[in-house]
Amino acid sequence: MRILLLILQLAIALLLNFKFINPALATETSTGSAIFNKNCASCHIGGANILVEHKTLQKSALSKYLENYDNEPIQVIIHQVQNGKNAMPAFKNKLSEQAILEVAAYVFQKAETGW
């Protein structure tokens, strides 16, 4: 249920162009930031990609390289974090479902607003 609520909040925030962000969402993305910094920033600092330069976490790159990103961005990011792909390792056995959701929310928010 918490996951569905967060996805709904993210969708609403996107529709409102991030002019209003629910305090609960702000907490989620703050936690997501900490998880990102601990687990992802070594390769994706500032939304970049130190291994494959053009596959950044910018919205344009996510849209281009992650199938169905434009239709289901949160689910696509969650899938990528859980399963990895090519040089990116899978985190489904390292991070909890909640932690993956929080880091996905953070990546989505940063991609939408610019790193």
pLDDT at 105 over 90: yes
pLDDT score of 14: 53
In the numeric block, which tokens belong to residue 29?
């993305």
Question: Quick check: helix, strand or coil at residue 85?
Answer: strand
Is pLDDT of 23 > 50?
A: yes
Give the C-alpha distances (Å, rounded to integers) separating 50 from 17, 90, 98.
29, 17, 26
Q: Give the CB-side neighbour count of residue 14, counting CA atoms within 13 A.
A: 19
The CATH architecture assigned to 2-113 reads: Orthogonal Bundle (1.10)
Give dist(CA 10, CA 104) in Å, integer.
11
Task: Report yes or no: 25 and 9 within 8 Å, Cβ to Cβ.
Answer: yes
Least confident piece of the model among 13-17, 18-22, 71-75, 107-111: 18-22
Q: How many CB atoms lie within 10 A of CB 99?
A: 18
